[in-house]
Every structure is written in structure tokens, then in C-alpha cells.
Structure 1
Amino acid sequence: MRGVVFLGEGAMELREFPDPVPGPEEVVIRVKASGMCGSDLNHLYEPKRTEDQIVIEGHEPCGVVEMVGSSVRPHEAKVGDRVMIHHYDGCRTCSNCRSGWTQNCDRGRIAFGGNGHGSHADFMKAPVHTVIKLPDVLSFKAGAAIGCGSGTAYGALKRINLLAEETIAIFGQGPVGLSCTILAKAFGARVIALDVGEERLAMAKRFGADFLVNPLKGDPVQAIKDVTRGLGANKAVECSSNPVAREQAVNCVCQWGVTCLVGVHGSMQFDCNEVITKQKTLVGSLTFSKNQQEECAQFISERGIDVDSLFTHEFRLEDAVEAYALFEQRKIGKGVFVFD
């Protein structure tokens, strides 16, 4: 089979690998869609990798079960099932693993497409406990979106307990931020979308954002207060990883408000009194649990939410170099590798 690998320092290639064979408690899926994530670019530009560090990339897998291991029971997975894969494995026995938060494994995690083989390939092998059934009404592309970007957005909104009567400010309208916008509207909230790119703001508007703010055109904190009677937003989610935006996300929420950091890496500064005297809460949110991935898929399918529209471009595996070059230059929105 073919698989996309990153070699470090911006280099990548399409390689041939043996077709995977499942162990007793594993499945092999025939990949139908594998989404591109902004975090992929961090891996692409890591230092040069040795051969033992090179893995197949991709952590937004969706496809059809091709083979099952000898110990896999029919209710867990069977050949022909349409499935997503929760893209983490761990020790499977610590409290985090048992509760579905494998990414927080006490003994160290495996992230498929990070330090374990992922889904930018014709086939993918994974433990059966990572299999999440894909609702029949959802496309494989929708399953790929839920597999990281949209699932991460859902996890963040659940983390802050977003309510229908609330106003939320969403900083950054890339794939995760746009997913936050779509889902927050489905939750019933009023959405203020922020981004420095007018094209992304236009997408946010199409996806239901009530107010648009470009931080390059004025003080975004004041703009948020202007549309909330001077109070500030009830909740804020920061998806850009920009340190200035992180500070603004703290400052823009009202007294007793909650700010959630989703964008990874980097640092931030803020006035502690802003949090202390106004009784604000600052939290982080790392993707989603296995249970939340299934819950997100059901939420999207039952409400007919069009997450397929998050993808602006489709690619084949052989186009991977071009696809990531366009992605890095922000000449596309969210891309996805699709398979026959």
C-alpha cells in the first residue's frame, strides 16, 4: 500500500508499505477519507527524522472495516462497517484510558499520524477499542472532519458548557474555529467570529456567525463589548495559537466568563487581576474523548449539520506534496485525501 510520510525540515514523500495485517484485538480499515489538519504542518517542519521516527501521517481517519482480528467480537467491529478511528492509543488500564481520554494516558500515548502510523494511506491498522461507528447519513468526509477538527470544536464547547442563551467569541476561523462556529450555532448560542482574513470571515458568515470582527481593523475586545451591551461575551474559544489573540480572548469575556484555549503550542501573557477580580475562568481543551467523538457524530447527524462544507479541496495521495504546499500557504481551507 501507499503512505504519506514526513521526513522533517519540510520534506515529504509517498512510500510503499506492506499491507497491514490485524493482530487479535485490531482491525484494518480501507481508508475512504483522511483529513488534513493544521497541526500536520508542525510535524512537517520538525528536525530531520531518522528512519525509526518516520510514520505514516494523518490523524483524521474514516473508512470501511476491511479485516478484523481473531478476538474482535461482532458488536465491536465487523467487515464492511463504516467507521471512524479515535486517533489515540494508551496503556488502556489507567483511569484516563478507561474513561475514554486515551490522549491523557498516564503511561504515555500513541497518537496515530504522530508517533504511530496514521491514515494518509490506502489502509490503516488500529486497536478495535478506537473504532467509532459512523452514522449512515454521514459521508466519509464528515467522519474525517469529526475525527479531529470538528470533534475538537465539539469537545471545547462541551468543556465550557456552552448554553443556548449565551454569546461566544471564537478567535480564529480556520477549520477548528469554523467548526466551533457551526456547532455553537447548533447549540443555539450567538456567535462572534474573529479572524484577520476576510475570506475566512466570509466563510464564518456563511456558517451562521452573527457578528464578524477583524482584529486588524480595530480593538476586538471593544468590538465584542459593543455588541454585548458593554458586558463582554459569556464564553470565548481561542483557536489560532496567537499570543495576542489569547490575551484578547481572556479580556473579552464578561465577569464570571470562561475562556478556553484550543490552539496548541506557544505562550501567552495576561493580567492576573483581569481573571481574579472579575472571577473569570481559563481552561484548556485537548481534542475529545472516545465517547465525545461518538456523541459529536450523533449530534451532527441528528441535526443535519453540513460539516462536509468545511472541506474546500479534495486530493489524492499522489498529490500530497502539492496539497501541503497549498495548505501551508493558506491558499486552501481544509483539505482531505479521498479514496475510491
Structure 2
Amino acid sequence: MSFDDPKPGPDEIIVQMKASGFCGSDLHHYRGPRGASLQSRSDAFLAERGLKRTDPIIAGHEPCGVVVELGKNVDPMRMKVGDRVLIYHYDGCGYCDQCRSGWVVICDGGSTIYGQNAHGGHAHFIKVPAKAAIHLPDEISFSAGAAISCGMGTAFAALERLELSGRDTLAVFGMGPVGQSAVQLAKAMGVRTVAVDISPQRVAQALEFGATHAIDSSKADAVEAILQWTGGRGVTVALDTAGVASARQAAVRSSATWGRIGFVGVGGGVSLDVTPDLILKQRSIVGHLTFSDVGLTRCVRFIADHGVDVDRQFSHRWKLEDADEAYREFDKQTAGKAVFEF
């Protein structure tokens, strides 16, 4: 299906895509019924954007590219044609406490999410508010910028909330793009990390990304293996990126006394015995959703300063005209990260 090229409103910019990444959450809409991606917003909201619930939406919430047009109110001292940018892919009311603190993703009125209820980056151009653009340093590639704008940014923000530092040991459950990102970031922070997955291929890749140790939990009990790796103490920090009950439970039970556990993976529940699993061990669980706009900016700076090789995450690079094949391959969820390059 084709769409007209977008035109900027007064406070908006047009970005020509150079890279637009795939995310596991894209598959919820790829596998779902037509119009499902529009359900998170009211009909009035959609009407303001010239949309209705049955309209198709351009997918892709990991856009990265070059500014090619400015709205009339955009300050040319802050943003100019030719700037390399990645996109903070949320917008909100701008007035609630969450928006004012930078956490637009949890706007009290509900967020606009480019690629879900507004047009995203799987196209040659995207229209976004100028405030959504974050400058991309020259030392970071466009494809890396696309990965940072979702998976890497999420991992970075979660590790920040868990206050990860070189004094810690970390277990990461799930070696998809967010889990791989967590391993790479932890390595840059000087943290010893154990990676867990049920895919032998992803377990092997985890070591290449910088994990100190890796466990195939389809063949070994992850909790027992982690306790053995830590001399019976458990890890000080555990992060679930898989979003499945068994991984969440193992993340809790493999952590040490005073352990800090983050749940990032979306989906499913978890069954815990609260007294032995939490209270008697003084453990803390944090539920974490992506990142703030200022947090994403910090992530970009960290990647540039520490030379994290984000591009090594990509196993598939596609052209937009190959979208059908690209999504069929990505839907298998057996390889690394994928990206459209323009």
C-alpha cells in the first residue's frame, strides 16, 4: 500500500529514513487483526490525525535518519536540515506529571506511539514533532541509532533503574535484542554477566556479545547453574527480557539476598512464593517500560563514549521492497536483530 509523502506542521520535522529497525513488539501487530494497532487511542485522537480505526498504519518504531524539512516554528539553531537524528518514538499531552518528567511513554492521557497508532519509520519519510528528534553523533551508524531508539535504550534505562555498576554480578534472561543489549552494556560497565536462553544459537552469541558465562536453560536448570557460578550466593542483579513466567521466576530465585530484579519482557505472569522468594531474601522487583526522552539521550552518549558495537546485533539487513520476506523471516524469532536500510 502506498501513502503520500508527509508535510510538516508548524512544530514538526520530516526525517528521511536511513535505517528503521524491527522490534519483537512489531510482531504483535503483524500477527494481529487489521486495525489492532489503533485500539490504544480514542476515535477523537485518531480523527485529529486524519485516521480511523480501520486505517492501516505504517509500522516501525525504531526510526533513524536525516532531517530534510522543518516546520515554520522549528528553531533552526536547535534543528537544521541535514542533521543526523534518531527518533524518540513517543508523544504525549505534554502537561501531565509523566510528560513533564520526560516519561512520555506513560503519559496520563495515553501516548502516541509511532508505528503503532501513528505512522512509523518503515517508509522513506516520517513526520514527527521536532522535540522527538535526538541528535546522533557521527561515530554512531544509522542502523545502530535505530537499535538504540528501542531495544538498546530499553536495556540501558532498565540497568540504570537497577543501579548496575562494576560491583555487581548480572543475570540476563532472554537473548533477543534487549537481552543482547544488556549484555553489551554490562560489559562496557565492567560487570560480570551470565546470559540465559533456550536457543543454543543465542546462547553462543551471548558469549560473543561479552557475557562471562552462558546457560542453555533447555538443557540445564538456570537457577542451579547461576548459584553454582556465583559460589552459592546468587547474582546481585537479574533482568528478565523474555516475558515468560519461567524466566521471571528464575530471575528472582537466582538472585542473592538483597537482589535487585527487573522485569522488562512484556507478556505473561509469574507465580512466586512471596515469603521465601522476596521477604526473607529482602529482594526488590522493578517493572520497567522502555525509557524517558532524557534517558535515551544519556544512552546515546554512553554508546558513543564507550564505543559499544551496536551494529554487531544485526543478523539481517533488508531493503523496504523486501518487506514481506523480511517480516516472514523476522517472525521466526531465531536470529539476531533486523533492520531496513535505505
Question: Normalising by structure 1, what TM-score?
Answer: 0.94
Which of 3, 12, 22 does residue 8 from structure 2 map onto? Answer: 22
Q: Could you tell me how far apart the structure 1 residues matched to 2:288 and 2:85 are?
A: 24
Which of 319, 330, 335 does residue 332 from structure 1 map onto? Answer: 335
Q: Could you tell me how far apart the structure 2 residues matched to 1:35 and 1:287 are?
A: 16
In the TM superposition, residue 32 of structure 1 has moved relative to its aligned partner by 0.4
Alpha-carbon displacement from aligned partner over 1:165-212 (angstroms, at most 9, x marks no partner): 110000001111000000011111110000111111111101111011
In the TM superposition, residue 330 of structure 1 has moved relative to its aligned partner by 2.8
Which of 305, 314, 318 does residue 315 from structure 1 map onto? Answer: 318
In the TM superposition, residue 332 of structure 1 has moved relative to its aligned partner by 3.2
1:128-277 paired onto structure 2 within 5 Å: 128-273=130-275, 274-277=277-280
Tell me, yes or no, if the aligned pair for 2:12 and 2:129 is still in contact at 8 Å: yes
Q: Could you tell me how far apart the structure 2 residues matched to 1:162 and 1:289 are?
A: 18
1:274-289 paired onto structure 2 within 5 Å: 274-289=277-292
Which contiguous aligned blocks of 4+ residues in structure 1 show a shift greater than 4 angstroms? none
Q: Could you tell me how far apart the structure 1 residues matched to 2:171 and 2:69 are?
A: 44
In the TM superposition, residue 95 of structure 1 has moved relative to its aligned partner by 1.4
3-state SS, counterpart of residue 137 of structure 1:
coil
Q: Could you tell me how far apart the structure 1 residues matched to 2:334 and 2:211 are?
A: 22
Alpha-carbon displacement from aligned partner over 1:228-272 (angstroms, at most 9, x marks no partner): 110100000001111111111111101110110010122111111
Structure 2's unaligned 5+ residue stretches are: 36-51
Matched letter for residue 60 of structure 2: G
Q: Could you tell me how far apart the structure 1 residues matched to 2:98 and 2:53 are?
A: 31
CA RMSD between the two structures: 1.1
Matched letter for residue 40 of structure 1: D
Q: Could you tell me how far apart the structure 1 residues matched to 2:24 and 2:170 are?
A: 23
3-state SS, counterpart of residue 170 of structure 2:
strand
Matched letter for residue 126 of structure 1: V
In the TM superposition, residue 52 of structure 1 has moved relative to its aligned partner by 3.5
Question: Normalising by structure 2, what TM-score?
Answer: 0.93
Q: Could you tell me how far apart the structure 2 residues matched to 1:187 and 1:198 are?
A: 26
3-state SS, counterpart of residue 328 of structure 2:
helix
Tell me, yes or no, if the aligned pair for 2:34 and 2:54 is still in contact at 8 Å: no
1:3-152 paired onto structure 2 within 5 Å: 15-49=1-35, 52-152=54-154
Tell me, yes or no, if the aligned pair for 1:76 and 1:128 is still in contact at 8 Å: no
